[in-house]
């Protein structure tokens, strides 16, 4: 009995890992138009590659004017946060096969911050809120320590989760309160305040709590859990915000 043989074209097609994917990107260039528009790009790409790889192919091979931020490409720098199929994600951590590549993949800038060009937003308000909560260790001891400031494993565990923040703004820009009022500190700033409020070596918890007790602080949170769902590092953002609220009421931290 004869063995079926694939012709060359069929064999190459069967062996190829590539599929055709449509990237639908929201473009904005203030030097060209005051209105944003959607533009489609078709790519031949391995579905095991990441959205960031697709954006690179577009920029390098199809349209060099496409503008986006990225740096480490390993989910550490946080610079490539964007809305992919309606959800805040890091492009470097999002595999194409995981987001239904049979349909157009929509990509747009994160919400709540002014779009400068294409997928790049003005991060200044975000980082100003971060600076305002004093994200650094403060000691009122006037003398230089003669030894390291020791801390038990239990004390460290108290704030371990919030040390994971990479300042990507995915949580803050997923918050409906922040969309409507950019004056709100936002989840990321509160998470970074939490990291020091509950650090046993720090002496400025009361000061940070008073900053967050402001009308634009933690009481603006409506507990929608958008921030927790959006965090690419798996931080329990909503839980951290609730712990800061509880500390404000009880003054226990």
- For position 178, which CATH number holds? 1.10.1060.10
Answer yes or no: do 130 and 117 share one domain: no
Report yes or no on 9 lying in a domain.
Answer: no
In a domain, 146, yes or no: no
pLDDT of 11 over the 80 cut: no
Can you tell me the mean pLDDT for 172-186? 94
User: Is the same domain home to 173 and 236?
Assistant: yes
- pLDDT band at residue 9 under the 50/70/90 scheme: low
> Are 166 and 113 in a shared domain?
no
* Position 67 pLDDT exceeds 80: yes
Residue 206 forms part of a structural domain: yes
Report pLDDT for 15: 72
**pLDDT tens for each residue of 80-128:** 999 999 999 999 999 999 999 999 999 999 999 999 999 999 999 999 9
Distance CA 168, CA 126 (A): 10
What's residue 202's pLDDT?
A: 95
Task: Mark whether 116 and 128 lie in a shared domain.
Answer: no
Q: Which residues does 240 contact at the CB level (< 8 Å), separation at least 6? A: 161, 162, 190, 191, 194
> What is the average pLDDT across 190-214?
96
Does 7 reside within a domain? no
Considering the chain, what is the average pLDDT of its residues? 93
Judgement on whether residues 101 and 82 belong to the same structural domain of the protein: yes
**What integer pLDDT is reported at residue 64 of this predicted model?**
97
Mention every residue, 6+ apart, whose C-beta is less than 8 A from residue 226: 171, 174, 175, 176
Q: Show the DSSP H helices in the chain as ranges.
A: 8-15, 51-57, 124-132, 153-157, 176-180, 187-197, 205-212, 226-230, 237-250
CA–CA distance, 174 with 82 (Å, rounded to integer):
10
Given the structure tokens 């020091």, which residue do they identify?
Answer: 196
- Are residue 128 and residue 88 in the same domain, yes or no? no
CA angle 238, 86, 94 (to 5 degrees): 85
Two tokens at 22? 């449509």
Please indicate, yes or no, whether residues 181 and 243 belong to a single structural domain of this protein: yes
Q: Are residues 135 and 88 in the same domain?
A: no
Average of per-residue pLDDT across 220-224: 95
Q: Determine the average pLDDT of the residues in 46-73.
A: 98
The domain of 73 spans 15-121
On the question of pLDDT at 29 being above 90, the answer is: yes
Beta bridge mates, 38: 26
Question: How sure is the predictor about 234, in pLDDT bands with cuts at 50, 70 and 90?
Answer: very high
Of 49-53, 93-97, 249-253, the least confident: 249-253
pLDDT tens across 148-177, in order? 888 999 999 999 999 999 999 999 999 999
**For position 235, what pLDDT does the model report?**
98
Is the domain of 135 the same as that of 246? yes
Question: Total structural domains in the chain?
Answer: 2
Q: Judge if 115 and 128 occupy the same domain.
A: no
């Amino acid at each position: 009995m004869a063995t079926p043989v694939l012709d060359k074209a069929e064999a190459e097609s069967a062996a190829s890992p590539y599929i055709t994917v449509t990237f639908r990107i929201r473009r904005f260039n203030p030097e060209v138009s005051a209105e944003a528009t959607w533009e489609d790009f078709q790519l031949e790409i391995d579905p095991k590659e990441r959205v960031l790889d697709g954006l690179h192919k577009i920029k390098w091979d199809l349209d060099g004017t496409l503008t986006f931020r990225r740096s480490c490409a390993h989910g550490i720098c946080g610079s490539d946060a964007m809305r992919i199929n309606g959800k805040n994600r890091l492009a470097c951590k999002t595999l194409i096969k995981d987001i239904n590549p049979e349909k157009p993949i929509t990509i747009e800038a994160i919400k709540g911050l002014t779009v400068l060009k294409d997928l790049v937003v003005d991060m200044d308000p975000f980082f100003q809120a971060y600076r305002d909560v004093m994200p650094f260790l403060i000691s009122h001891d006037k003398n230089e320590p003669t030894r390291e400031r020791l801390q038990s494993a239990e004390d460290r565990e108290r704030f371990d989760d919030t040390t994971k923040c990479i300042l990507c703004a995915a949580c803050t820009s997923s918050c409906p309160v922040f969309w409507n009022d950019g004056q709100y500190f936002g989840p990321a700033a509160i998470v970074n305040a939490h990291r020091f409020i509950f650090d046993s070596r720090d002496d400025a918890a009361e000061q940070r709590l008073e900053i967050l007790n402001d009308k634009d602080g933690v009481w603006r949170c409506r507990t929608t859990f958008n921030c927790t769902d959006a965090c690419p590092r798996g931080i329990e953002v909503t839980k951290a915000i609730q712990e800061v609220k509880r500390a404000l009421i009880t003054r226990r931290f």
